[in-house]
Chains A and B, each alone.
Chain A
Amino acid sequence: MPTPTLTQSIVITLIQCLLVVIFVFVVVPLTVFAERKVLGHLQQRLGSTRVASGHVGFSGWMNRTMWKMGRVPVLSYWRGIPGLVGDVLKLILKEDIMPAKADKFVFFLAPSISMVAAIVVFAAISFVPGTFFTFPAWFPYLGGLPVSGGIADINVGLLWILGVATVGVYGIVLAGWSSNSKYPLLGGLRSAAQMVSYEVPLTLSLLAPVVLAASLNFSEMSSRMATGMPAWALVPQVIGFLLYLTCGFAETNRLPFDMPEAENELVAGFHTEYSGMKFGLFYLAEYINMTVVSALASAFFLGGPWLLPFGLQGLLNPYLPGFLSWFGQPHAIFFVAKIVFLLFTYIWVRGTIPRYRYDQIMAVGWKYLIPLALVNLLLAAVIRCFAV
């Protein structure tokens, strides 16, 4: 296998970055679309499950034809698409208003910090261990070179993810401050307190896989948690998984914990004064953060690019018949499928559980989640000491 020169490896890295951005910009709008539809079904809001292009044009013709054939039209799954198009158009075309007494520089900086911090995290996430694909030999300049599954699979990848994700707090806090208005300031302060306190149990719950896998490298951790453990050693990790997911909801400000924006208390919280694409960047950042939390959960608790959660794959692998052996091979599709499932869980929870009160959130975080995370860590250490 040829080794790439420095310029070639930089070009490959840029291609990987491009792939990540494409992934993000495919997943985020689809999640927004799915959120409208799933919430529509859960809460019996009919609009987003019915709106379609009508009875005219190509899709209308297909709908009518399929009804005539006595089948449910395929396109009915895509009902609500005009709503998505409207959302995106509104974000792009709306007038960008800046409050007169806002701090202009910080007002401009805040959404970009949110967005950059959310997307840079993907540097350490590897979708496949090892090589993702190899450029065919005829490819100009890069022929025959391998493209690895992660952009930078550094030895402290997990810390990188946690560290950069915490920088995202600044986006919200600074947005709240720079708007020079009461509700955003309250939202910003609330979010700073909430996110800093929920970072502690989040990190502690992620330490359990670190202890078990004895590594901080993303792909190494995900592969050891998927295949390198005896199955019973992973049972306590179910607690860790639920803990992590709870804290992840709080970190991304999703519904049971959406204190920073709580629309019936704070109008819209930290982004009250934002409009147009600046608001769109916050919106994007929230969904990208959801994707990142889902990616971490699926890598460390659900077996990453391998198929079954909690390391059951390793148990099953020897008994797989030959034609099903792809089932046991790592593939990016499994990883993405798990991420999509967890994103669905996000929407599901949002449609089911009402918002906590602010003091309840802090009490749950400090009095229950942190001790539970410590007990879970202790359990993992005991398992590590005696079993693995």
Chain B
Amino acid sequence: MEHFIETIGRNMFAIFGVMALVGGLLMIASKSAIHSVLGFLFAMLNIAGCFLALEAEFLGVAQILVYAGGIVVLFLFVVMLVEVSKKKEGEVFQLQSRYAVAAVAVGAAMFLAVFRKAFFGVASPEALVLRPELAKGLDVAHQNAQAVSRGLFADYLLPFEILSVILLVALVGAVVLAKTERV
């Protein structure tokens, strides 16, 4: 019994990972847009579970808070508001399938390159961690939030700010698109 539970506990990451994959497949395969959103939600919750299994509680919970709590709700909201009829749905999908295949091919190539490096490449001499002087006096396993915030606001401040500028650009772009449509 003890051994069995321990084995399950050690493989929690794999269990959640497989379930996240199942969620992703459901998202792609289901016919109705709402079911796709549900599949996406399932995948997101399971990715949060993966983070929890790695003892990165902050990341896991942030995943739930941001994706499940915010973004997917908005997806659902939009899908429910803009209910596309079956015929038009077919047209939209046909129009986009060429670009979609191209995008998937590029993405697959990039992922393959990364995986090749990860599986067969030379391991990096040291793990990607916080600068030691920043992590001083910090029990990372129990002070998740502090560790992440030190990383964001001290070590990786510039990339973080650039990312937020990119988000701002996306926001402004969305407003511009919505405006032109209305005129």
Residues of chain A having any CB pair with chain B under 8 Å: 5-7, 10, 103, 105-106, 109, 154-156, 159-160, 162-164, 166-167, 169-170, 173-174, 177-178, 185, 188-189, 192-193, 196, 199, 216
Contact = CB atoms under 8 A, between A and B. Distances in A.
Given A170-B41, A189-B80, A159 B34 contact: no
A5 B2 contact: yes
Contacts of B68: 163, 166-167
A106 B57 contact: no
Contacts, number: 86
Given A170-B41, A177-B34, A159 B76 contact: no
Contacts of B64: 160, 163-164, 166-167
Contacts of B76: 170, 173-174, 177, 192
Interface string B139-174: 000111100000000000000000000000000000
A137 to B, nearest CB: 22
Describe A's contact surface by its main secondary structure. Answer: helix
24 contacts: A6-B5, A7-B1, A7-B2, A103-B34, A105-B35, A155-B143, A159-B58, A160-B61, A162-B65, A163-B61, A163-B62, A163-B64, A163-B65, A163-B69, A166-B64, A166-B68, A167-B64, A170-B41, A170-B73, A173-B77, A174-B34, A177-B34, A177-B80, A192-B76
Interface string B51-93: 0000001100110110011100110110011000000000000
Contact of B57 (A154, A164, A174): A154
B6 interface: yes
A142 to B, nearest CB: 15
Contacts of B144: 155-156
Contacts of A166: 64-65, 68-70, 73
Contacts of B9: 6
A6 B2 CA distance: 7
B127 to A, nearest CB: 21
A166 B76 CA distance: 14
Contacts of A106: 34-35, 38
A374 to B, nearest CB: 18
A189 B78 CA distance: 10
B180 interface: no
Contact of B145 (A7, A155, A174, A193): A155
A229 to B, nearest CB: 20
Given A155-B142, A159-B58, A159-B61, 8 more contacts: A154-B57, A156-B57, A163-B61, A163-B62, A166-B65, A167-B68, A174-B34, A185-B80
